[in-house]
Amino acid sequence: MRLPSPSLLVTLLMVILSVGCGRAQSRKAAASFSRAALPPAPLQVLDSPAMQYLPRQEEVPGWRLESDPLVIPANGLAAQLSSDAVHFRRYEVIDMTVGSYIRTSGQGFATAEIFRFPDFVKAFGAYSSRRGAVSSFVEIENEAFAGPRSVHFWRGPFYVRILGGGSGEVKQGLITLAASVARGMPVAPGKPAVFGFFPEQNRVPNSEVYSAAPVFGQPFLRAAFTAEFNVDGQKIDAMILPASTKDAADRILSLYKTFFVTNGRILDPVPNLGEANFTAEDRFFGRTVALRIDRFVIAVRSFGDRERLIELAILSDQRILGSIRAQLQREDVLVNTPSTQATPSQPSWIRTP
């Protein structure tokens, strides 16, 4: 049998390859055409209890709802808020309801965003951790502050922020809109009860923050309640962290002490303070007094007088001992007991005043 010449074999191979490429291109073109021919996927219509709090039409004097409000679930916030979504996910946000408004007279616009959370503690956390050191507070319950072109308020399990712009009295117009949004919302019974373990004397008003992010520059100090104090001009930062167990609190206190052993120096402990304590200082973090009592880790720090830190730590220690010792002993039962104020994942002493 006579074999084909090499030139003929090359020609046949080129024909086979061109046919194969043509079929592949045809399949690709057909797939592309079929995708283009398909109608776009319908948008998922969501609902949220927050929908009822957005004023409709022209219910607020000077404002008109421009379009139907939207509800965006937690897993869709990144597309809407970019990196800002991380902040809200830390506090287990459920959804965000958005309404766009325009001024009925003059030039002006506003966007009302209602963030819904599982409970008022997490809502307070998302709100309070956005409150700046210097804020212009507004008379809206539970608490509110305003900037030149924004109003933020915490009310029950909601954190609401209203952003706007335009000409004229922008700030006052946004406050009017915010007050209308807040009107029908449920009110929380008060700030989280852990703040009651701080002494009230010398506490800076509205300085309380619940932070799901690390505090005091330490990654292990998460989910802590903080407040500021001013004692005769000395600024003091204070923190209470409710740990899940006594052992967990011991580990946190040990990690905190190790930080100062490595980076600063340990000072003499305070006699009879808590169940364990240490004092330390560092050139960047100042002086610190930290203690553990039951499952609570308490820390106070300042660049000023160490004795004032010790006094504040002692007062917090006494308030915890005097108010919840019996309750702490039965907390494992209470944490699994249904309550109108509580969720099983959080102890009652965190949520209720």
On whether both 208 and 332 belong to a single domain, the answer is yes
On whether both 204 and 149 belong to a single domain, the answer is no
CATH number of the domain where residue 286 is located: 3.40.1000.20
- Specify the number of domains making up the chain: 2
Q: Does residue 193 register a pLDDT over 90?
A: yes
Q: What is the pLDDT of residues 276-330, one digit of tens each?
A: 999 999 999 999 999 999 999 999 999 999 999 999 999 999 999 887 665 655 5
Question: What's the rounded Cα separation, in Å, for the pair 148 and 130?
Answer: 15
On whether both 301 and 347 belong to a single domain, the answer is yes
On whether both 144 and 224 belong to a single domain, the answer is no
The answer to whether 150 touches 314, Cβ cutoff 8 Å, is: no
Q: What is the pLDDT of residues 97-122, one digit of tens each?
A: 999 999 998 789 999 999 999 999 99
On whether both 136 and 227 belong to a single domain, the answer is no
On whether both 142 and 268 belong to a single domain, the answer is no
> Residue 37: what pLDDT?
37
Task: Report the b/e string of 55-77 with b at 16+ CB within 10 A.
Answer: beeeebebbebeeebbbbebebb
Tell me if 158 is assigned to some domain.
Answer: yes
pTM of the predicted model as reported, rounded to 2 decimal places: 0.80
Tell me if 21 is assigned to some domain.
Answer: no
Q: Domain limits at 266?
A: 193-351
Question: What's the rounded Cα separation, in Å, for the pair 233 and 37?
Answer: 71
CA angle 287–350–330, rounded 5-degree value = 110
